[in-house]
Chains A and B, each alone.
Chain A
Amino acid sequence: MHLTDTEISALEKTANEIRKSIIRSLVEAKSGHTAGPLGMADVFTALYFHSLNHDPKNPAWEDRDRLVLSNGHICPVLYATMAHAGYFPVEELQTLRKYGSRLQGHPHREFLPMVETSSGPLGCGLSQTAGMAIAERMNNGSLSHKHFFCMLGDGEMNEGNNWEAIMLLGKEKLGSVTAIVDRNLIQIDGNTEDIMPLGNLGKKFEEFGWHAQEIDGHNFEEIVGAINRAKAVHDKPSVIVARTIPSKGVKAWEYDYKWHGKPPSAEEGEMALQELLRN
C-alpha cells in the first residue's frame, strides 16, 4: 500500500504548516522546546493525517487508536498537529504555556482531555501504553481493532522505567502496541552517544521479544510503510526507530543540541518562517 505522489505532496505541505505553527507558538510562549517538535513534525503528520484511526470531531470515540506522548516536552508538535487535524482552533496554539491555557507547558489531560495522558516526567509513557493495551485485551480480546502508539525520545531511553515496560510488553506479546522512538541523537546536555550511549536500539528491543524497524523519519513512504508493517505483526510489540534531524526544516538550527530546550527569539522565528515559506 504505497502513498501516491499526490498524497506525499499533501503530507509534506501539512508538515510544513505544522512546523510554522510550532515556531509561531514557541516565539509567542518565549519558552519551550524547539528541536524535537520540528524533528518529529513529519512522523506526527503521517500519524494524524494518514495512519491513526481517530475522529477529531469526536475525541472521546471509544474505538479510536490511542496515541500516548511519553516525551511530553515535544508537545508543541502534538498540539500543532492536533490543531491542524481539527481538534481545536489553530489560533489557540498562541496560548501555549500561558496562564489559563489548555496547552500546558507539558500536556495535562485534565485541561485538554483529548490528549491520552499527562506527561513530561520522562520514561512512563510506554508503561501506561502497556496498561491500556493489557486492559483492552482483557475487555475485547482478539475482537479489538484498537492500536496503541507510544511516542518516545531517544534521550528518555536512559530511564529505567522504559526498560521495565519493554520487558513487560515483550513478555505479554502485545501486538497492539507500536513504540516510535525519535532517534535524533540529542538530549539537553549534548549528544546521546556521549551522555549515555544507546547503540543499536532496535537490536536491544529485539532481544526483549519485539519486532524492530529503523527508518528515515522524514520520508513519508518509509514512515507509513513501517506503521503498516508494525500493525501487521500480531504476536509481538513493534518498535520503529525513526532517524530524525533535530530542528528539521530550519537549516541553521539542524543537528544542534543547543536547540533542544530553548525557543526562538522573535527575529530567529521570523528568519525560520521565511525559510519555511519558501517550501
Chain B
Amino acid sequence: MTKLNPKVYTDDVEQLPTRKGFGEGLAMLASSDPDVVALCADLTESTMMHLFKEKAPERFVQIGIAEQNLVTVAAGMSAMGKYPFCSSYAMFSPGRNWEQIRTTIAYNNSPVCIVGSHAGVSVGPDGGTHQAIEDMALMRVIPRMHVIYPCDAIEARKATIAIAGARIPAYLRLAREKTGIITTDETPFEIGKAYIVHEPEAGGLAHVGVIACGPLVRFAMLAARDLEKKGIKAKVLNLHTIKPLDTESILALAKETQCIVTVEEHQKAGGMGSAVAEYLAQTFTVPIEFVGVSDEFGQSGTPVELVEKYGMGREDIKTAIEKVLNRK
C-alpha cells in the first residue's frame, strides 16, 4: 500500500489547510514554469496566492471583487499561451461565474485552473452564504473540465503542480480549515488515479469499500479503523480526482467488497458519490450509501459542529458502513 503519514490515525497528527499546500505549489511554479500566471479577486492571502505574488509580482493580476472578470480575463491570457490559476472562494468562483467558465474556458478550449477555496460547511462561522456545497456538481457537468479535491495540504501542493504540467481546464477544490496530514512527500500523485489509504489490518478481502475525497478521507480512515474492533473489514479509496473518474479502481473495489459508501463534504446530489453511482449503476450494481449534505444549506458554527450536524462526522460514516453492510 501507498506510504502515508505514520501519525495519520493519532490525535496529534500535523494539521495544515489544503489552501496552504496550493499556495506552496503555486510558489514553486513561479520559479519552474514561466508561463504560469495568477489572478485573484481580492482574496489573495485567504487563498494563499500571495505566496506566488511575492515571488513573481509581474505575473500576478489583481482583478478586484469581480469573479466574472476573473475567469474571462484568465481565458484571454490562456489564448495567448499562458496557464492561469484564478482563485477566490468556491462560493463565488465557480459559484457566481459558471456560464463564463463554461463558454470562455471549457467550450472555447482555453485551459485555466479555477481554484475554489473555502469549500464545504467546514468554512465554519462565516455561515451558509460562504459554504459552497454545490460546486463539484457545477463543475463536473461541464465537458473537458477536470475536478480535483485533494485530501491534505501535501496532496494539494502536488495537485497544483500536476495541473499546471497538464495544461488542462481544471477545478481545484480547497478548504479553509487546518486538517490532518494523511500523505507524505513520497506518496505518488497522478491526476485521475485514485489510491487505497486504508486496508484492514487483518488482511484478506474487505467487507465494504469506502470512497472518500477531500479532508474527510481521514475521517473515513478513522471510521474504518474503529469498525475493525467490531470485525468489520473496510478499505478506503482516496478519490482525489472526481473527473475524470478512476473507473478501474472503483470497479475493483466494488467487485471485492460488493458494497460501497461514498464520503464527501458536498451535497449528495451531483457530487462525487453521484459520479460513482452513475458509473456503478451502468457497470456493476452494488448497494451504495452516500455520506454528504442532504439538500440543505449550512449555517454558522465550528467546523466540527457543522460537519457532524450535516451528517458527515466519523460516527455518521460508521453508521453508513453498517447500513450498507445490511443491504448486501
Q: How far is the CA of A168 from the CA of B75 in the complex (A)?
A: 15
* Contact, CB under 8 Å: B76 / A131: yes
* Contact, CB under 8 Å: B66 / A138: no
Interface-lining segment among B9-17, B55-63, B226-234, B238-246: B55-63
* Contact, CB under 8 Å: B107 / A108: yes
* Contact, CB under 8 Å: A168 / B73: yes
Q: Which of A118, A130, A167 is within 8 Å of B108, CB to CB?
A: A118
Q: Which residues of chain B are within 8 angstroms of A164 by Cβ–Cβ distance? A: 63-64, 66, 68-69
Shortest distance between the CB of A241 and any CB in chain B (Å): 22
Query: Total interface residues on B, using CB and 8 Å?
Result: 28
Q: How far is the CA of A138 from the CA of B58 in the complex (A)?
A: 7
Chain A residue nearest in CB terms to B107: A118
* Contact, CB under 8 Å: A124 / B68: yes
Chain A residue nearest in CB terms to B103: A121
Residues 126 to 151 of chain A near chain B (Cβ within 8 Å): 127-136, 138-139
Q: Which residues of chain B are within 8 angstroms of A117 by Cβ–Cβ distance? A: 75-76, 79, 104, 108
Main DSSP-derived SS at the B contact region: helix
Q: How far is the CA of A20 from the CA of B82 in the complex (A)?
A: 40
Q: Which of B78, B79, B103, B109 is within 8 Å of A116, CB to CB?
A: B79
In the complex, per-residue mask of A100-124: 1 if CB is within 8 Å of any chain B CB, else 0:
0000000011100000111111011
With contact pairs A124-B68, A160-B68 given, residues A132 and B104 touching in the complex (Cβ less than 8 Å): no
Q: How far is the CA of A244 from the CA of B80 in the complex (A)?
A: 32
Residues 45 to 100 of chain B near chain A (Cβ within 8 Å): 58-59, 61, 63-64, 66, 68-69, 72-82, 84, 99-100
Q: Which of A127, A129, A130 has the most CB of B within 10 A?
A: A127
* Contact, CB under 8 Å: B76 / A135: yes
Q: How far is the CA of A53 from the CA of B64 in the complex (A)?
A: 33
Shortest distance between the CB of A228 and any CB in chain B (Å): 25
Answer whether residue B37 sits at the interface, using C-beta atoms and an 8 A cutoff.
yes
Q: Which of A118, A130, A138 is within 8 Å of B76, CB to CB?
A: A130
Residues 213 to 261 of chain A near chain B (Cβ within 8 Å): none
Q: Which residues of chain B are within 8 angstroms of A131 by Cβ–Cβ distance? A: 72-80, 84
Q: Which residues of chain A are within 8 angstroms of B109 by Cβ–Cβ distance? A: 109-110
Q: How far is the CA of A108 from the CA of B79 in the complex (A)?
A: 14
Q: Which of A110, A132, A138, A161 is within 8 Å of B100, CB to CB?
A: A161
Answer whether residue A77 sits at the interface, using C-beta atoms and an 8 A cutoff.
no
Q: Which of B58, B69, B100, B108 is within 8 Å of A168, CB to CB?
A: B69
Q: How far is the CA of A160 from the CA of B84 in the complex (A)?
A: 22
Q: Which of B59, B74, B108 is within 8 Å of A109, CB to CB?
A: B108
Q: How far is the CA of A117 from the CA of B104 in the complex (A)?
A: 8
* Contact, CB under 8 Å: B79 / A128: yes
* Contact, CB under 8 Å: A134 / B73: yes
Q: Which residues of chain B are within 8 angstroms of A127 by Cβ–Cβ distance? A: 68-69, 72-73, 76
Q: How far is the CA of A74 from the CA of B84 in the complex (A)?
A: 29
Shortest distance between the CB of B55 and any CB in chain A (Å): 15
Answer whether residue A96 sits at the interface, using C-beta atoms and an 8 A cutoff.
no
* Contact, CB under 8 Å: B59 / A118: no
Answer whether residue A93 sits at the interface, using C-beta atoms and an 8 A cutoff.
no
Q: Which residues of chain B are within 8 angstroms of A40 by Cβ–Cβ distance? A: none
With contact pairs A109-B108, A134-B61 given, residues A124 and B80 touching in the complex (Cβ less than 8 Å): no
* Contact, CB under 8 Å: B72 / A124: yes
Answer whether residue A69 sits at the interface, using C-beta atoms and an 8 A cutoff.
no
Q: Which residues of chain A are within 8 angstroms of B74 by Cβ–Cβ distance? A: 131
With contact pairs A131-B80, A135-B80, A138-B37 given, residues A118 and B103 touching in the complex (Cβ less than 8 Å): yes
Answer whether residue A165 sits at the interface, using C-beta atoms and an 8 A cutoff.
yes
Q: How far is the CA of A119 from the CA of B76 in the complex (A)?
A: 12
* Contact, CB under 8 Å: B82 / A124: no
* Contact, CB under 8 Å: A128 / B107: no
Residues 85 to 135 of chain B near chain A (Cβ within 8 Å): 99-100, 103-104, 107-109
Residues 13 to 46 of chain B near chain A (Cβ within 8 Å): 37
Q: How far is the CA of A109 from the CA of B73 in the complex (A)?
A: 17
Q: Which residues of chain A are within 8 angstroms of B99 by Cβ–Cβ distance? A: 121
Q: How far is the CA of A134 from the CA of B37 in the complex (A)?
A: 11
Q: How far is the CA of A168 from the CA of B82 in the complex (A)?
A: 19
* Contact, CB under 8 Å: B100 / A135: no
Q: Which residues of chain B are within 8 angstroms of A120 by Cβ–Cβ distance? A: 103
Chain B residue nearest in CB terms to A130: B73
Q: How far is the CA of A145 from the CA of B73 in the complex (A)?
A: 20
Chain B residue nearest in CB terms to A141: B58
Q: How far is the CA of A110 from the CA of B169 in the complex (A)?
A: 15
* Contact, CB under 8 Å: A138 / B59: yes
Q: Which residues of chain B are within 8 angstroms of A167 by Cβ–Cβ distance? A: 64, 66
Chain A residue nearest in CB terms to B69: A164
Q: How far is the CA of A167 from the CA of B41 in the complex (A)?
A: 13
* Contact, CB under 8 Å: B104 / A118: yes
Shortest distance between the CB of B211 and any CB in chain A (Å): 34
* Contact, CB under 8 Å: B63 / A124: no
Q: How far is the CA of A134 from the CA of B80 in the complex (A)?
A: 9
Q: Which residues of chain B are within 8 angstroms of A110 by Cβ–Cβ distance? A: 107-109
Shortest distance between the CB of B65 and any CB in chain A (Å): 9
Shortest distance between the CB of B85 and any CB in chain A (Å): 13
User: A residues near B, CB below 8 A?
Assistant: 108-110, 116-121, 123-124, 127-136, 138-139, 160-161, 164-165, 167-168
A selection of 11 A-B contacts at a CB cut-off of 8 Å is A117-B104, A124-B75, A127-B69, A127-B73, A127-B76, A128-B104, A131-B73, A135-B80, A164-B64, A165-B69, A168-B73
5 closest residue pairs by CB, A with B:
A131-B76, A164-B69, A135-B80, A128-B76, A127-B72
Q: Besides A132-B76, A139-B81, A164-B68, 5 other CB < 8 A contacts?
A: A110-B109, A117-B75, A128-B73, A130-B69, A131-B79
